[in-house]
Chains A and B, each alone.
Chain A
Amino acid sequence: MSSFNAIVPMSCVTAAAIAAMIAEAFRAPGERMPIGPLGAIGLAGAAISSVLLWKDGASSFGVVVADKFGLFVTFILIIVGVLSLAISEPTIDRERLPRGEYYALMLFALAGMMLMATATDLLIIFLALEVLSLAVYVLTGIRRDHALASEGALKYFLLGAFSSAFFLYGIAFTYGLTGSTRLDRIGSLMAAQAMAPTPMQLLAVGLLLVGFAFKVSAVPFHMWTPDAYEAAPPAITGFMSTGVKAAAFAAFVRVFLAAFEPLRPSWSPILWIVAAATMIVGTVVGVSQSSVKRMLAYSSIAHGGYLLLALLAANDVGKAAVLFYLLTYAVTNIGAFGVISVLENTDQPNDRVRDYAGLWYTHPALAALMTIFLLSLGGFPPMAGFIAKWYVFSAAVKRGYTGLAIIGVLTSVVSVFFYLRIIVMMYMTTTDTPARVPPIPRMAGLALIVSAILVFYLGILPTRVLDWAAASIATIF
């Protein structure tokens, strides 16, 4: 029996997005409307409905399933959405961006992400992927008079469209093999014929793998990431580096650990190489960046590598690691980009490493917050990043991926170099010309403090959230 319950969370967000469009259309020129709070109401509705669905779950039309796994990712997306809305406000004011359009696109992207996290049919996953991608392409280039923004958005769009074609081709081959796009049927049919994989099966798995690797910006499909992340306003970069990654990894986990699990011997060596390359390239190239945004873009590539390792090593001990890592990464990264976002000035972006010189003396609170986020990204206890990495690496060792775990630990150590570089700049360097920083808006400051508290909470008392994560992922395999 089909019911609408499973799509209620994303419907709330969609309704908020449509309301934002109506508000923007009715707005007189120059009139200010509280469109951001509209989005917050939609996200609150999504949160309440997800909490109500948590115990029993629901299934709509057989293709959207609100199981604990999907709902956990939905919660991550709601957190990402609320924090992004809060840190977006100053950017919109400063850059004179079209407010309603910005929030509507952000909410539509969130609805697509939620659909992607709960979809159990390859075609619905593709549809959700397109919904979120189209919105994010436009958001990347929303600073229309900015040459770099147009360049980054166009690169992102072309490569993203290309990867969508790969993904669709993979779906076509899967359908040709199994006669279905439903993940459960694909899984049982693959299990029946998995003894000797045919070239067709390998082709289907390979093409889908390429599609997902593009979206999670895994090496060698990461080329668009630094340009797109630099082009977008920092608030959007924070949003898409966490939200898109969470949604794409959710679908990645569902497709590969549920439907294509019988073919694991075929895809795990490829994923091994991709994960290793992603960790190494992300870290090594990140070392040589002088722009903080590009540096964090490469750091997010490297974190994608750790997530791939978590996916590969998903076993009884460590299968909660993927979800926990996604959550901590989302909270931390959005905080770091939030700091960049409030540092930005109308005439100067303040995104070079040297712009951070002496920030501790002029803005101690911002410097302290940035330190918390960077140390968490680097994996220092007692921040959340430490626990997340510890779970991923211990799961990898238990599963027998010792080599990858060693690569992961070594690249983490290297990455600490570029995180600490900014911290050294902030505390131990003085400059005669400190960066001029605009006054910090209250909402954005509050969002940063909330993310910092979450980083500490997840780092010091992770047990409850880890239990939720373990219960969530148990519903899919």
Chain B
Amino acid sequence: MLSAYVPIAIFIVVATGFALFTLVVSGLLHSEKYNKVKLEPYECGIEPTTDARDRYSIRYYLVAMLFVIFDVETVFMFPWAVIFDKLLLFGLIEMLVFIFILVVGYYYAWQKGALEWA
């Protein structure tokens, strides 16, 4: 029973050993020259202009939530499209009902001003 877990144990040992090995070796070999660019969070990225801990407009979250809803809708439509040849008319009507409900929600969000930025 327990012998089934031997590969996992070997994996843990190898993973830990590899991490330790790379840390120790790079610690022994690397040069110790620090400057401002070297200490930035992303050494090779775009230069940061301000602190990352800033306040965002609440609208980002609103748009993000709406995005998630319509994104999940698409996820639901993919498998439907794949087996559409088996679902036929029943599947088509069901999807139309589903999309109708989503459109109602979309129109509601629109009318309530959730999509307006200013």
Contacts and interface: CB of A to CB of B under 8 A. Distances in A.
Q: How large is the interface on A (under 10, 10 to 19, 20 to 34, 35 or more residues)?
A: under 10
B73 to A, nearest CB: 16
B101 A25 contact: no
A177 B57 CA distance: 48
Interface string B76-118: 0000000000000000000000000100110110111000000
Contacts of B101: 18
Contact of A22 (B104, B110, B112): B104
A21 interface: yes
Contacts of A26: 111
A21 B106 CA distance: 11
Among B108, B110, B111, B112, residue most surrounded by chain A Cβ atoms (within 10 Å)? B108
Interface in A11-64: 18, 21-22, 24-26
The list of the 9 closest CB pairs from A to B, nearest first, reads A25-B111, A25-B108, A21-B108, A25-B107, A18-B104, A21-B104, A22-B104, A18-B101, A24-B108
Contacts of A18: 101, 104
A18 B107 CA distance: 12
A302 B55 CA distance: 45
Interface in B28-49: none
A18 B108 CA distance: 10
A24 B108 CA distance: 8
Nearest to B105: A21
A321 B51 CA distance: 63
Interface of B: 101, 104-105, 107-108, 110-112
16 contacts: A18-B101, A18-B104, A21-B104, A21-B105, A21-B108, A22-B104, A22-B107, A22-B108, A24-B111, A25-B104, A25-B107, A25-B108, A25-B110, A25-B111, A25-B112, A26-B111
Among A21, A22, A25, residue most surrounded by chain B Cβ atoms (within 10 Å)? A25
Contacts of A21: 104-105, 108
Contacts of B108: 21-22, 24-25
Given A18-B101, A25-B104, A25-B107, 14 more contacts: A18-B104, A21-B104, A21-B105, A21-B108, A22-B104, A22-B107, A22-B108, A24-B108, A24-B111, A25-B108, A25-B110, A25-B111, A25-B112, A26-B111
Nearest to A19: B104
Nearest to B100: A18
Nearest to B106: A25
Contacts of B104: 18, 21-22, 25
A400 B9 CA distance: 53
A25 B110 CA distance: 8
B106 to A, nearest CB: 10
Nearest to A98: B112
Contacts of A24: 108, 111
Contacts of A25: 104, 107-108, 110-112
A25 B103 CA distance: 12
A21 B108 CA distance: 7
Contacts of B105: 21
B112 to A, nearest CB: 7
A287 to B, nearest CB: 43
A22 B112 CA distance: 11
A16 to B, nearest CB: 13
A22 B106 CA distance: 10
A358 to B, nearest CB: 44
B59 to A, nearest CB: 17
A18 B97 CA distance: 12
Contacts of B110: 25
Interface in A104-149: none
B61 to A, nearest CB: 15
A24 B111 CA distance: 9
A24 B112 CA distance: 9
A18 B99 CA distance: 13
A380 B54 CA distance: 61
A49 B71 CA distance: 35
B39 to A, nearest CB: 39
Nearest to B109: A25
Contacts of B111: 24-26
Nearest to A15: B101
A24 B107 CA distance: 10
B12 to A, nearest CB: 25
A25 B113 CA distance: 10
A25 B101 CA distance: 13
Nearest to A14: B101
Nearest to A24: B108
B115 to A, nearest CB: 13
A24 B104 CA distance: 11
B89 to A, nearest CB: 15
